Amino acid sequence: MGRQTNDTKISSYLKNLAITYLSIKSGCYNDKLILSDSTNEEFEDEETCIKWVENAFSKLDSLDREFINNEYFFNAKPYWWERTYSRATFFRLKKLASRRFYDALMGTR
């Protein structure tokens, strides 16, 4: 995915990445390590995938980590953000956090 990747593709990519990452961490991932059919991105092994995600995640600030964790990696309560953010602010911050995480991932490949 190039620099001009749209938000829908980034969100889909991050969802697939989270599924792969969490499957590996739980020991339930037995297949070839490919993130999605559209990117055909492969990893040499499970450890490479884990390190790649965790390295990119460590480059985020706490607000971005909160959004990435709650939206992609953990089963956060629906509308977890409602008491803190307006709907418009939530979507704006989610978009920014997703873009930053994606950029951090691409910068660590």
- Predicted TM-score (pTM) of the model is 0.80
What is the rounded average pLDDT of the residues 77-103?
95
The answer on pLDDT for 2 being more than 80 is no
pLDDT category of residue 38 using cuts at 50, 70 and 90: very low
**Residue 3: predicted pLDDT:** 47
Instruction: Please state which of the ranges 32-36, 45-49, 83-87, 99-103 shows the lowest mean pLDDT.
Output: 32-36
3-state secondary structure the chain: CCCCCCHHHHHHHHHHHHHHHHHHHHCCCCCCCECCCCCCCECCCHHHHHHHHHHHHHCCCHHHHHHHHHHHHCCCCCCCCCCCCCHHHHHHHHHHHHHHHHHHHHHCC
The CA R_g of the chain, rounded to the nearest whole Å, is 14
Mean pLDDT along residues 31-36: 52
